[in-house]
Amino acid sequence: MTTTTVTRAAARVVDAVKVYGGGDTAVRALDGVSVDFPAGRFTAIMGPSGSGKSTLMHCAAGLDTLTSGTARIGDTDLSTLDDRRLTLLRRDRVGFVFQAFNLVPTLTVAENITLPLDLAGRRGDTEWVDALIDVVGLRDRLHHRPAELSGGQQQRVAVARAFAGRPDVVFADEPTGNLDSRSGGEVLGLLGRTVRQTGRTVVMVTHDPVAAAHADEVVFLADGRLVDRMDAPSADKVLDRMKAFEVPS
Ligand SMILES: Nc1ncnc2c1ncn2[C@@H]1O[C@H](COP(=O)(O)OP(=O)(O)OP(=O)(O)O)[C@@H](O)[C@H]1O
Ligand SMILES: [Mg+2]
């Protein structure tokens, strides 16, 4: 029996080109990348330093614009949006987790998690936020402030905040870059669980094969081009693939 699974792309770029600067100093950070990030999946973007990972994420998420090509969130072509609509899209349909946790120090954990909803004047889905608090394991820390939490706990707050508004897709750029391996492992496990338990979509940039192994699929960039995709990655398989990019000495 053959089963065909049709997956919708939560985000995608087609023929994405991004050139920084001009003239002799122009840098072609993306050189014709086409990639889709399927809904309900956890995709990792890997590649050597300078290969264009952050640029791809920023352009796919509407934080930066492409020089040519298209970027879509769901069915929305980002190039058709004016600044105001782009801001609304980033606020309402996309979540972000960065290496620096970017929590507001004067707000409690609970207030940080609902901050995007509060800023948008949305009541949000209180059952969803309540369930998220259990997924990230912070119920007993809700009234603490970020300075009273470990780095791993702070990043778990940032993960809950990113998912609070039920975004189409959460983008994470090196979310474990500031964490020790144990806390990092917890945050990665959390991202994976959130995708599997709630059907949300995560796209994560990382240079760490162990981090990438938490994803459902890895896409590899080199010199601004998509060079490979790998399903069901393991750290060893990813490491082997990455070795192929290294310049022989
Ligand atoms: N604002 C910018 N202006 C000029 N060049 C830039 C800018 N941002 C990135 N670049 C260049 O574009 C290329 C891709 O950068 P990008 O930050 O996307 O790489 P990356 O894969 O995320 O690397 P890393 O693993 O080091 O974070 C690099 O050559 C970088 O120097
Ligand atoms: Mg980067």
Provide mean pLDDT across the span 38-67.
Answer: 96
How do residues 5-42 score in pLDDT, each as one tens digit? 567 899 999 999 999 999 999 999 999 999 999 999 99
CA 102–ligand 2 middle distance (angstroms)? 17
Sign of CA dihedral 122, 123, 125, 126: positive
From 13, 17, 20, mutation site for ligand 1 pocket: most ligand atoms within 8 A of C-beta: 20
Provide mean pLDDT across the span 159-173.
Answer: 94
pTM of the prediction? 0.93
The residue contributing the CA closest to ligand 1 atom 29 is 50
Sorted by where each starts, the structural domains of the chain and their CATH numbers stand as: 40-53+89-242 (3.40.50.300)
How do residues 182-218 score in pLDDT, each as one tens digit? 999 999 999 999 999 889 999 999 999 999 999 999 9
CA 5–ligand 2 middle distance (angstroms)? 32
